[in-house]
Chain A
């Protein structure tokens, strides 16, 4: 019997010991390393956003686009750059960052790396809102929010509120199993409602609805981005407070509490901020799948699992990822555009299969 003061020979593990390599080896979140990692992802995001508007299905002259002597109303190249492409790239960055960070937060909140922003029913509610707006031709707008995004937000908010109420008891920590159950149940219910709506709608309405479900960043102007921005900004600010607490929470509620984390409060902030980010993203571009789960996993493969690195890195990589996917969607088969959700699915599906094979 060995006494703890001796150095015990390591017991040979049953399977490969995973000594993961982090960005610069060693695997510790030292300040310099963290800054370098996040800086690297930041550069990637900025570069992607700078290069993406330069490319498209139509050939344009950048010199002409930026030529101030030509009045904007007459400058086709400038219109294409500033009205068609640039808002699209900005929206893509916002949505990519929003969905990726929401994915990380939900994965920590639900203590499950397979969770994504849509697990808890927010996108189901958003889809019902969008379908209602499309099928019944709703035409109410509020400021820069046109009918379909407005209805989408309303649906998302409704779903999030329902799940929140179901899973929260005053003063106590949320039960993650109730959260998960409530979300999955709501998703199933919303799917049924969506099918019913499609059944009673005309063919074109159904097709438009299906097209919305596939995701689309072609917003044609900055107004939709301006409409979604306040929501996303609040979400990002809230999320910024979470990383350290998410580390603790992902080990266990009691463990986190015993280390000074206000578990109930952190869970609420996590749920609200991630739901806000998801709702804003879905209202802007529809429910684009796989971003919220592929990006966090990819990032963890590179930087490890410390949320203080994973969260900002995922947001930045998510932005670059979605802008890249949108670029592919609008240029691969130009002038035909592939729906964005299909591109992310085509990348995400195989990636997940590969992950599964690799783990096994």
Chain B
């Protein structure tokens, strides 16, 4: 089990002092090589869980373990060499080029004062090639299209050479074309490079199309966890979103599709 959480809880305290639980007693184990989808309505805690799994947040109760070792016991760089995160949106404050953005992924492998060497450049170019962004290396990141930007960010995460890739709503701000592009890319990376992936999303069809495992969350707790085919059905959708949906296998697509039908009575 590369990455798992045992009985983790996390609380956000508002300034007025009233605590609100983001996660209560959540336990989850991510299978090596899986492409897991974290599904749930807004505010269910999936982003918080993702950040806990990445080590960006420390749980208030419970532990997150990587290869059997508690994340807290590893140095941040050590964690970063194994786990990479693709955030929902990236807005750099300065006008970095795409290759500079990708090279930033090499940070956990370099010392504090080190500059990137030829090997780092090779890894970065390799990562960009694998996301189809090799030709964009010297372009300014901010001038790229939405899909290109996201692919560059994925490349920068790959440059970290992680075992696990955590993605937060990777297609949320993209149009249908780019959504498809990213979805296929992730699937390909998962299969060809054996990168374990965990993806938080509220796009049920995205999860249905590429995730082999799904985790359903609501109100800071896990409702269900298992193979997509077993877990994702009409009942699950109704329980999570209060929406009646038709969940069926689509022959042409080759995977499950979720079609919302109406509000649940």
Contact = CB atoms under 8 A, between A and B. Distances in A.
A257 B76 CA distance: 8
Interface in A1-58: 1-8, 10-11, 13, 15-20, 26-31, 34
A244 interface: yes
Interface in A301-349: 304-306, 308
Contacts of B116: 28-30
B151 A4 contact: yes
Contacts of B84: 258-259
A17 B97 CA distance: 11
Nearest to B58: A171
Query: For chain B, which range describes its interface: under 10, 10 to 19, 20 to 34, or 35 or more residues?
Result: 35 or more
A13 B107 CA distance: 30
B236 interface: no
Interface size classification for chain A: 35 or more
Given A4-B181, A259-B160, A17 B76 contact: no
Interface string A58-92: 00000000000000000000000000000000000
A251 B115 contact: no
A268 interface: no
Given A4-B184, A300-B94, A10 B136 contact: yes
A13 B96 CA distance: 17
Given A4-B181, A300-B94, A17 B132 contact: no
Contact of B132 (A8, A111, A247): A8
Contacts, number: 137
Contacts of B94: 108, 113, 250, 300, 305
B1 interface: no
Contacts of B92: 250-252
Interface stretch (B139-147, B198-206, B250-258): B139-147
A28 B125 CA distance: 13
Contacts of B112: 241, 244-245
A260 B87 contact: no
B18 interface: no
Contact of B113 (A11, A20, A29, A244): A244
A259 B115 contact: no
A17 to B, nearest CB: 5
A258 to B, nearest CB: 4
Contacts of A107: 93
Closest 10 CB pairs of A and B: A260-B80, A258-B85, A260-B77, A111-B93, A305-B94, A260-B108, A4-B185, A4-B132, A257-B56, A260-B76
